[in-house]
Amino acid sequence: MNNQVERSDMDVLKRLFEQKFRVAAEQARPLQGQLGGSGRAIIRLSGGGFTAIGIQYAVREENIAFLEFTKHFRRHGLPVPEIYGEALNEDAYLLEDLGDTTLFDFLSANRAGDAIAPEAVEAYRKVVAALPRFQIEAGRDVNYKVCYPRASFDRQSISWDLNYFKYYFLRLAGTPFSEQALEHDFARLTKFLLAAPRDYFLYRDYQSRNVMLREGLPYFLDYQGGRKGALQYDVASLLYDGKADLPPALRQELLDYYLECIANYGIDRNAFMEHYYAFVYVRIMQALGAYGFRGFYERKAHFLQSVPYALKNLRWLAHNAQLPIALPALMEAFQGMLGSEKLQALATSADTLKVKIFSFSFHREMPSDDSGNGGGFVFDARCLPNPGREERFKPLTGKDEPVMDYLNQQESVHRFFASASTLVDASVATYTRRGFKSLMVSFGCTGGQHRSVFLAEQLARHLLANNGIEVAVRHIELEKMGK
């Protein structure tokens, strides 16, 4: 839908909103960056103090799978969104609004290179702990008849993923390979994968952008591709999630914690590990196929910015994980990828630009640019409605939900942010093209606590979602306040 929703489609979502809340939806805006590669339109509707997320998607079978799984997971007490309304004949449904902070956003805001803040590690531990509840507890009685497009991660599913990688990544990246030799390896790998116990729910896309954090607790989305399968696939998806770029030591720590969790269900660690790294490889290949299809074939260049992270994971695996089966043609193809000048160029361009975003108070000095370039943007948010004037908001910040909800309901805030983000997007595009490495953006308000913080956080999410660049956020006044 290209981020656009036809008026009649929007009317369906507004009707569902009014049926649920008995008030009209006063605002309906697409959530930029949340369409990903799926083609779903995701709309936030608000009115009368209520908000909800509307989904428009023309694949009925996938909509049915999502709704059925959601109802099932909620019966098991799992943290997934409440369904507010559905109109399957009109390709629409309405969900609980879980906010804007994904696990990926939270990780990005709480790291400095490989140094991950304890609160981000703890968020990951909560996500890891929830996984067996989906796979084992809810997997026992889920209705696999509604799975789309396959009921299990079987020989056909694996073949689709491996060929996706071969034709949309290897071939389009220009990596040489022997078709027949690679097919032999694929057959051997498939047989090995199918030997793992696979009577569990396979979430299929258990990664950092499909987990929302609200008040420190994880909530889960995008399991509509789920099917019956092996335990190893989903934890591999989370720990080898490309752009999350988890340090190897943290990956191992989280894997050990997952193994402790599944031991409570009688799963043997050694038996699990026998097949684990084969599933890591197949998950990375599936992701590379998607990057190649969207990036090389559909020419959506931002998908290719994830390729260097996948190559980094493959390089680590080559030195640290030995498979119990021989896959010479596949390993040779991986080495060809790692030595490819074309793919190395992607790696070079992946870290060309870092956008540093600040919030500050105009009562103090503006943030200084330590890059030596000078310039950048300074946006004055004092023209916007000030939550700090209301007693209920005074102890809160622009990262707290009540303040965010208040500002999200102000049309002037949306106009201000749209103008600011348009200017920043233009500079990001130019800076990236010209190979610049640093851009500074600052938002100021009276106290540096509400409006400027909110706008800085919004811009960070916008840039992380749409551009695949490195983003760092600092809230100058909140740091002084210890918040």
Q: Taking the complete model, does pTM exceed 0.85, yes or no?
A: no
The DSSP-derived string for 222-259 is --TT-EEE-THHHHHHHHT-TTT---HHHHHHHHHHHH
Element (H, E) at 328: helix 328-338
| Distance (Å) of CA 80 to CA 9, 67, 444, 461 | 24, 11, 36, 21
Give 198's contacts (C-beta < 8 A, 6+ positions apart): 152, 153, 228, 229, 230
Please give the Cα distance from 144 to 154 (Å, whole number). 13
> Model confidence over 368-384: pLDDT tens digits?
776 656 668 999 999 99
Please give the Cα distance from 444 to 448 (Å, whole number). 6
Average pLDDT over residues 173-200: 97
Torsion of CA 343, 348, 349, 351, to 10 degrees: 130
Is residue 465 over pLDDT 80?
no
Which position has the higher pLDDT, 7 or 326?
326
Is residue 361 over pLDDT 80?
yes
Is residue 480 over pLDDT 80?
yes
Bridge partners of 377, per DSSP, are 441
> Model confidence over 114-132: pLDDT tens digits?
899 999 999 999 999 999 9
Which position has the higher pLDDT, 452 or 479?
452
Could you give the 3-state DSSP secondary structure of residue 211? Answer: strand
pLDDT the model gives residue 39: 73
Spatial contact of 362 and 445, defined as CB atoms under 8 Å apart: yes
Q: Where are the alpha helices (DSSP H) in 50-170?
A: 60-75, 103-109, 118-132, 155-165
Q: What are phi and psi of 163, to 5 degrees?
A: -75, -30
| Distance (Å) of CA 387 to CA 254, 381, 460, 468 | 40, 12, 21, 32
Residues constituting the chain: 483
Burial class, 418, CB count within 10 angstroms (exposed 0-12 / middle 13-18 / buried 19+): exposed
pLDDT the model gives residue 34: 44
Please give the Cα distance from 379 to 303 (Å, whole number). 30
pLDDT the model gives residue 470: 80
Please give the Cα distance from 52 to 22 (Å, whole number). 13
Please give the Cα distance from 416 to 381 (Å, whole number). 8
Spatial contact of 79 and 217, defined as CB atoms under 8 Å apart: yes
* Confidence at 148, pLDDT banded by 50, 70, 90: very high
Average pLDDT over residues 193-209: 97
Q: Which residue has the tokens 């909530």?
A: 219
For the chain, give the percent of residues with pLDDT over 70: 93
Average pLDDT over residues 241-254: 95
> Model confidence over 12-41: pLDDT tens digits?
999 999 999 999 999 998 885 444 456 789
Is residue 79 over pLDDT 90?
yes
**Torsional sign, CA 1, 204, 174, 182:** negative
pLDDT the model gives residue 432: 73
Please give the Cα distance from 386 to 397 (Å, whole number). 12
For the chain, give the percent of residues with pLDDT over 90: 79
> Model confidence over 84-105: pLDDT tens digits?
999 999 999 999 999 989 999 9
Q: What are phi and psi of 478, to 5 degrees?
A: -65, -35
Which position has the higher pLDDT, 244 or 300?
244
Is residue 345 over pLDDT 80?
no
> Model confidence over 262-304: pLDDT tens digits?
999 999 999 999 999 999 999 999 999 999 999 999 888 778 8
Question: Which tokens sit at 97?
Answer: 């609004």
Is residue 212 over pLDDT 60?
yes
Average pLDDT over residues 204-218: 96
Is residue 436 over pLDDT 80?
no
pLDDT the model gives residue 31: 80
Spatial contact of 338 and 315, defined as CB atoms under 8 Å apart: yes
pLDDT the model gives residue 428: 87
**Mean pLDDT of all residues belonging to the chain:** 91
* Confidence at 351, pLDDT banded by 50, 70, 90: low
